[in-house]
Structure 1
Amino acid sequence: AHRRAQRRGATKETTIEVSVDLDAPWCEADLPSGAQGAWTGNVMTSTTLTATVERTARIKTGISVLDRVLTELVRCAGIQVVVHCEGDRHIDDHHTAEDVAITLGQCLHEALGDKAGLARMGCAEGAHAAARCRAVLDLSNRAHFESDLSLDEEYVGGVDGEVVALAFGADGADVGGSESSSSPCDAICGGVLSSEMLHHVFLSLTMELRATVHLEVLEDSGAPGHTLDIALAASSAFGAALASASKLDPRRHGVVASSKGTLSQ
């Protein structure tokens, strides 16, 4: 059976749509740059047009750093994912990041089904610049998350008050003339992710995926901005471990990888 799931929802904080297809391969057009160049302007049949639209980038949360983290995870997992979210980013990044992670985890769990015949476990490393991370993942239905991610900067990538000064001037006035940005909070929350919420994203994703996940930092420069390198390395490792764990193992002959013959419910 084709392994896919989709969820939509709306609250006072967010409007969200997420879909997951574990058996449709990720492709370069799933990158934001690929989305812009996927259609050349040539006349297409309805079938070709649908196929093109379906493979273009679909991770749009309104938080560019979160988009990068999720895109890296999906790329290394080798799956197709759609994430659309409109959230109350004028307040902060909490509701958007949390709801995206929760809904994505729920879709992944649903798409994986009873996990019969799956390898179930995966271990992988990911690297970005000077950072290297390892992820150990077990699709156990026992939700547990551990990590030692060194998130010692307020924002992923080390964004600080300088961004506000550049965007709004010393007195807080918008020097860019943008009508869409009305406060320094808009500039921060519209582009970056707090380090606290990065941890929460991995935690919420793991809990709703109902997996056991351990993330470990193997190398880290500690230089200013190193938290972005850690975030992308951890995402790569998480995605690659998920790819290994979710693969069908022919040696299982369709049986759940458990001595009990079933996983915890």
Structure 2
Amino acid sequence: MRTGTIRRKTHETDVDVQVVLDGTGVFDVATGIGFLDHMVEQFSRHSLIDVTMRIAGDLHVDQHHTVEDSAIALGQALDQALQDRKGIIRYGEAFSPMDEALARVALDISGRPYLVWRAGFTQSRLGEMDTELFEHWFHSVAQACGITLHIELLYGNNNHHVIEAIYKGFARAMRQAVGIDPRKSDAVPSTKGMLGSGTIET
């Protein structure tokens, strides 16, 4: 069973995250930001990666630290669970529709963190969450796990549908990428013989 556990406490946040890559999409998420909880739950359910995430953050300041640290810890836990990346499919992609919105997500668990973000919002908040923080969340996950991540909104009008399509697309792409290739389960999928991990310090 491939698992990762990150416990991280600073003056800004107290974070506890566990993931099980070979799970069934069971989640227990409490970040203090309801809409972020909803999105992480969507990620867990559709990736089939079990996620436990508990965060106490300085929300009296703003949401930035809580959102950022939730993503860093999730990325680090995924990185830990992936171990040496042996046998993984490595690449994943998904077209994700949500009513009138359609998102495209493609990723490579490459050890080379990078985010291409081509999406936007027409309102500043969804629920109580600042929409400008979504791009930062995905950037932080990609950095912490060493993922090359391309996210593109092809079209869509409803802001809730837009971000939910993106999270579900990310989930489906990760589900594919972390899967074990039955034809090459004993090898790292790289001609280098290794795949590096994320770069953000704990």
TM superposition score normalised by structure 1: 0.71
Identify the match of residue 262 of structure 1 among 160, 185, 194.
Answer: 194
Which of 74, 94, 99 is the equivalent residue of 2:64?
94
- Aligned Cα root-mean-square deviation (Å): 1.3
Tell me how far 1:229 sits from its aligned partner. 1.4
Q: CA deviation at 1:102?
A: 0.4
Q: Over residues 172-231 of structure 1, what are the superposed CA-to-partner deviations in whole Å (9 max), with x where a residue is unaligned? A: xxxxxxxxxxxxxxxxxxx5211111111111011111010000112212xxxx222111
Q: Among 140, 151, 162, which residue is 1:215 paired with?
A: 151
Alpha carbons of 1:96 and 1:231: their partners in 2 closer, same or farther (altered >3 Å)?
same
Distance 1:203 1:149 in 2: 13
Cα distance change, pair 262–18 in 1 and its aligned pair in 2 (3 A): same
The one-letter code matched in structure 2 to 1:80 is: D
Do 1:125 and 1:236's aligned partners in 2 also have CA atoms closer than 8 Å? Answer: no
Q: For residue 74 of structure 1, report the CA deviation from its aligned partner.
A: 1.2
| Distance across 1 between alignment mates of 2:28 and 2:196 | 33
Conserved in 2, the CA contact under 8 Å of 1:66 and 1:192?
no
Could you tell me which residue of structure 1 aligns to residue 28 of structure 2? 58
Q: Which has the higher strand share?
A: 2
Maintained 8 Å contact 2:96/2:165: yes
Question: Does structure 2 conserve the Cα–Cα contact (< 8 Å) formed by 1:135 and 1:241?
Answer: yes
Q: Which runs of 4+ in 1 moved over 6 A?
A: none
What does residue 200 of structure 2 align with? none
CA contact (8 A) 1:5 1:19 kept: yes
Per the alignment, in what secondary structure is the counterpart of residue 16 of structure 1?
strand
- What is the correspondence of 1:3-152 to structure 2 with a 5 Å cutoff? 3-26=2-25, 30=26, 57-152=27-122
Check conservation: 1:108, 1:209, Cα contact below 8 A.
yes
Equivalent residue letter for 2:149: V
1:83 counterpart SS class: strand
Structure 1 position 260, deviation (Å) = 2.1
Is residue 200 from structure 1 mapped to residue 136 from structure 2 by the alignment?
A: yes
3-state SS in 2 of match to 1:250: coil
Mind listing any 5+ residue stretches in structure 2 that lack a counterpart?
Answer: 198-202
Partners in 2 of 1:10 and 1:257 — Cα distance?
34
Identical residues among aligned pairs (%): 34
The aligned amino acid for 2:114 is H
Greater helix share, structure number: 1
Q: Deviations over 1:124-183 (max 9, x none)?
A: 122223211011010000000001111232113xxxxxxxxxxxxxxxxxxxxxxxxxxx
- The CA distance in 2 between the partners of 1:153 and 1:252, in whole Å, is 46
Which residue of structure 1 aligns with residue 170 of structure 2? Answer: 238
CA contact (8 A) 2:146 2:196 kept: no
TM-score, normalization: structure 2? 0.93
Matched residues, number: 197
- The answer to whether the 8 A contact 1:119-1:248 is kept is yes
Provide the C-alpha distance between the structure 2 equivalents of 1:117 and 1:66, rounded to a whole number of angstroms. Answer: 31
Kindly provide the CA deviation profile for residues 45-95 of structure 1, in whole angstroms up to 9, marking residues without a partner as x. xxxxxxxxxxxx411101011011111111111111100011111221101
